[in-house]
Amino acid sequence: MKDLLRTEHLSRADIELLFTTASDFANEPLRSLSALSGKTVAIYMTKPSTRTRLASETAIAHLGGSPVFLRSEDLQIGRGETISDTAKILSGFCSALIIRTFAQSDVDELGANATIPVINALTDDDHPTQALADWLTIREKFGADLSGRTFVYVGDGNNVTHSWLLMGAQLGAHVVAATPPGEYAPDAAVVQRAQAIAATTGGKVELSNDPVAASKGASVIYTDVWMSMGDPESERIEKEKVLKPFAVTPELMGSAAQDAIFMHCLPAHRGEEVAAKVIDGEQSVVWREAFHRRTTIQAILYHLTRGELGGSEYAHLRSR
Ligand code: CP
Ligand code: NVA
């Protein structure tokens, strides 16, 4: 596999390898300081980022390389140069490209036209690097055997929900997305894909519209912002109303298992999708989760630039 374009492109073996390497990079960040020595990695973002940008730039530095950070207004792409021409130029100078943007199809097109690894650092549909950090954090807490536990996402059905369900399915976990029905539910095609993966791994993918019932006995309660980057402002009032019952409160955490943890990809909005008492409380692992953004991106860069990820049976599929 040349690129990491979508969460479901990673095989179980790839995920296990990335977890092992990321854990090594957690203990010893500079253990592969010559991997990208003298090389550059482009980071191209058309949406804001705190964690992913910092994690990526730090990961590149820890591998001995130099990041080149680009916004759309820095490139001729904003003045009509094609994605395919841009991909060829990036490939001529850089060893990898980390891209955050709106349309998944733009990321797919970059991957198809670049000869260097292209890494999806968030689109409207997916957030694969986040999922790796999330599930590595879960591994650290509960170990490799996830059987008998449920892992519940509560809130808006979005890009992070998709990655959550897909990677959980690949790891053989019982994952649940509790969202409002309809417009704010996860994409049906993604859910189907996750269920197909779960059928081969012993996992289970469920949808719910009842956050309290879904959270009962859960090992993880995960949430994300209600308004994602690019969501129309005109939806805000309606979304806040519909999503209010899906807020992660101390009461909701109380219905989860005794040893449950709270997770959030961040940025968080205290008093909206999560209560301050929860995210700043003892069950929250959000800072460890954010820490693993660097270790996992470092592992992805390390293995992709060495051609060491095999890809899943879905890796050849470019559209959902
Ligand atoms: N979780 C995450 O992707 O954070 P940023 O938007 O700050 O990169
Ligand atoms: N769903 C959020 C995730 C931010 C990391 C967004 O796309 O804005």
Can you give the CATH number for the domain in which 91 is found? Answer: 3.40.50.1370
99 CB within 6 A, ligand 2: no
pLDDT at 43: 98
Give yes or no for a cis peptide into 29 (omega within 30° of 0). no
What would the DSSP string read from start to end of 87-151? Answer: HHHHHHH-SEEEEE-S-HHHHHHHHHH-SS-EEE---SS--HHHHHHHHHHHHHHH-S--TT-EE
Asked whether residue 1 is assigned to any structural domain, the reply reads: no
Nearest to 140 by CA among 236, 219, 41: 219
Distance 123 CA to ligand 1 centre (A): 11
Q: In this predicted structure, what is the pLDDT of residue 236?
A: 98
- Residue 195 is among the residues annotated as catalytic for this protein: no
Residues 137 and 185 in one domain: yes
Residue 69 inside a domain? The answer is: yes
Output the residue whose Cα is nearest ligand 1's atom 7.
50
* Rounded CA separation 141/282 (Å): 14
Number of domains forming the structure of the chain: 2
Residue 306 lies in a domain: yes
Q: Establish if 86 belongs to a structural domain.
A: yes
Helix (H) or strand (E) holding 169: helix 159-170
Whether residue 275 is found in the same domain as residue 212: yes
**Gap from CA of 155 to ligand 2 centroid (Å):** 12
Asked about 76 being catalytic, the answer comes back as no
Q: Is residue 260 part of a domain?
A: yes
Residue that has been written with the tokens 């964690």 in this structure: 51
Within-domain flag for 268? yes
Compute mean pLDDT per 10 residues along the chain, 320 residues long, and list them.
Answer: 98 98 98 98 98 99 98 91 97 98 98 98 98 99 97 98 98 98 97 98 98 98 98 98 98 98 98 98 98 99 98 73
Residue 78 confidence (pLDDT)? 85
pTM here is 0.97
What pLDDT, on a 0 to 100 scale, did the predictor assign at position 320?
41
Range of the domain at 213: 129-289
204 and 98 in a common domain: no
| Active site annotation includes 100 | yes
The bound ligand whose nearest atom lies closest to the alpha carbon of 273 is 2
Position 317 scores a pLDDT of 61
Active site residue 265: yes
Residue 72 domain flag: yes
pLDDT at 315: 87
Identify the active-site residue in 62, 162, 293, 294.
293
pLDDT of residue 159: 98
